[in-house]
Amino acid sequence: MDHFNLRDGAVHCEDVPLAEIAAAVGTPVYVYSTATMQRHARVFRDALGGIDDPLIAYAVKANPNKAVLATLAREGLGADVVSIGEYKRAIAAGIPAGRIVFSGVGKTAAEMAHALEHGLYQFNLESVEEAEMLSAVASRLGLEAPVAFRVNPDVEAGSHPKISTGSVHNKFGVPIGEALAAYGRARELPGLKVQGVAVHIGSQLTDLGPLRAAFTKLGELIGDLRKAGHDISVADLGGGLGIPYDPALPPPPSPLDYGRMVAEITADWHVRLVFEPGRMIVGNAGVLLSEVIRVKPGAAAPFVVLDAAMNDLMRPSLYDAWHAIDPVTPRGSEMTANVVGPVCETGDTFATGRRMGQVQPGDLIVFRTAGAYAATMASTYNSRPLTAEVLVSGNNWSVVRERQDIEALIAADRLPPWLGP
């Protein structure tokens, strides 16, 4: 459920007409709903109601805007970060260091040192090599690093191949068959406090089966580790719960179904559970608002050319992702269209042969479900400045990221001395 609804014939975000934001800020612009984020954070927490003191570490990569993070910090969420940039954003937004989990397959020594010096809940290590590097960094600083190994359970997540991570052929985690040896090695290393296990098998999962299989394997590993004398007090179950994008498809499992499955499988684990939801918290809480530049005739269907392009919203060209595209002020009739951006490649296509509300040049449209992995994956391809972002709360709204200034973008380039000043 979200708070982008038709009211008086026009789409509003909470109590604000989207057209008002477009008129003031220009397009394209991302618009986020505070009430939707709050609702999703609470729904997820409630779904884990039977679990004692879970740490919900929001996956910052889904939407790292500081205002988004500050909203979620007030809901008591922690953060799952994968770079020191994300770590700094989380801290700047008011997320306590003690609620930050540091994931990622390529943490550098400098990143490790920064997180150690400023504090965190846990490093999720992805290899023995990484454990060795962290041990050296922690020893040099005279600090102790709380760690878990992310294990790769070799489970096919069933999601898009580019966002499935739990197979042995993926770069992620320590293969589960090698986990006991990895923990044995970590125990010998100075500066590490081995406290947990972690798993994350992919994103936009629409079936609980693979998650259940991965968690079951993780439970068996916890038993084996304890038998081998390791003190395991934390289990991080990652993120990955899918959300509805296309209303024509069956809905993904609900947070409640997920919570019940987790409670059942982890009942006798006796650990603190950590969760890393990203998309589930912010996905439906954002839209990309864009204007139709022109409608150009096409062989099979007209091309609706928008002022938003693949550089603003990468998901369709990267993953063939489906986003609902709706007119902000529906005209009451429909059309079949190819919806494209102005970038000079055919990949800059948002939808082909799409049945959608009729639009004309100058109309506003929204891409729905664009709160996660959207603004954050934007680039300046075709020298298009990064899009503005707006946060709505009730009848208030505020620009939470200025549109990038094209002159500043160009000024960041430097001419070498031999090409002039």
Q: Identify the residue among 41, 59, 176, 237 touching ligand LLP (CB under 6 A).
A: 59
Cα(102)–Cα(85) distance, integer angstroms: 11
Cα(405)–Cα(385) distance, integer angstroms: 7
Sign of the Cα pseudo-torsion (131, 136, 137, 141, in order): positive
Q: Identify which range of 14-22, 200-208, 330-338, 378-386 contacts ligand LLP by CB under 6 A.
A: 200-208
Comparison of 207 and 405: residue with beta carbon closer to ligand LLP: 207
Comparison of 25 and 151: residue with beta carbon closer to ligand LLP: 151
Task: Name the 3-class secondary structure at 385.
Answer: coil
Cα(80)–Cα(185) distance, integer angstroms: 25
CB 335 to ligand LLP: min, Å: 27
Q: Quick check: 239 binds ligand LLP (CB under 6 A)?
A: yes
User: Which residues, in sequence order, are bridge partners of residue 392?
Assistant: 33, 397
Q: Identify which range of 133-141, 196-204, 347-355, 396-404 contacts ligand LLP by CB under 6 A.
A: 196-204
Q: Quick check: 240 binds ligand LLP (CB under 6 A)?
A: yes
Contacts of 297 (CB under 8 A, 6+ apart): 303
Q: How many residues bind ligand LLP (CB under 6 A)?
A: 20
Q: Quick check: 203 binds ligand LLP (CB under 6 A)?
A: yes
Comparison of 82 and 305: residue with beta carbon closer to ligand LLP: 82
Q: Identify the residue among 18, 62, 116, 288 touching ligand LLP (CB under 6 A).
A: 62
Q: How many CB atoms lie within 10 A of CB 87?
A: 22
Q: Which of 77, 374, 1 is nearest to 239 (CA)?
A: 77
Comparison of 284 and 393: residue with beta carbon closer to ligand LLP: 284
Q: Which of 110, 208, 192, 119 is nearest to 149 (CA)?
A: 192
Comparison of 327 and 341: residue with beta carbon closer to ligand LLP: 341
Comparison of 171 and 355: residue with beta carbon closer to ligand LLP: 171
Q: Quick check: 89 binds ligand LLP (CB under 6 A)?
A: no
CB 419 to ligand LLP: min, Å: 37
Q: Identify the residue among 200, 217, 368, 401 touching ligand LLP (CB under 6 A).
A: 200
Largest CA distance in the chain: 70
CB 122 to ligand LLP: min, Å: 12
Comparison of 54 and 327: residue with beta carbon closer to ligand LLP: 54
Does 13 qualify as catalytic in the annotation?
Answer: no
Number of helices followed by number of strands (H, E) in the chain: 12, 21
Position 103, amino acid: S
Position 292, amino acid: V
Residues 265-324 within binding reach of ligand LLP (CB under 6 A): 276-280, 315, 319
CB 257 to ligand LLP: min, Å: 15
Residues 358-377 within binding reach of ligand LLP (CB under 6 A): 373
Long-range contacts (CB closer than 8 Å, 24 or more residues apart) made by 315-320: 315/373, 315/374, 315/377, 316/349, 316/350, 316/351, 317/347, 317/348, 317/349, 318/162, 318/377, 319/160, 319/162, 319/163, 320/160
CB 286 to ligand LLP: min, Å: 12
Are 281 and 255 spatial neighbours (Cβ–Cβ below 8 Å)? no
Comparison of 59 and 120: residue with beta carbon closer to ligand LLP: 59
Q: Quick check: 123 binds ligand LLP (CB under 6 A)?
A: no
Q: Quick check: 80 binds ligand LLP (CB under 6 A)?
A: yes
Q: Identify which range of 26-34, 233-241, 328-336, 346-354 contacts ligand LLP by CB under 6 A.
A: 233-241
Burial of 159 per CB tally in 10 Å (0-12, 13-18, 19+): buried
Q: Quick check: 43 binds ligand LLP (CB under 6 A)?
A: no
Catalytic residue among 300, 344, 411, 419: 344
CA distances from 8 to 15, 290, 362 (A): 11, 20, 20
Q: Interface residues with ligand LLP (CB under 6 A)?
A: 59, 62, 80, 103, 163, 200, 203-204, 238-241, 276-280, 315, 319, 373
The residues that are catalytic are 344
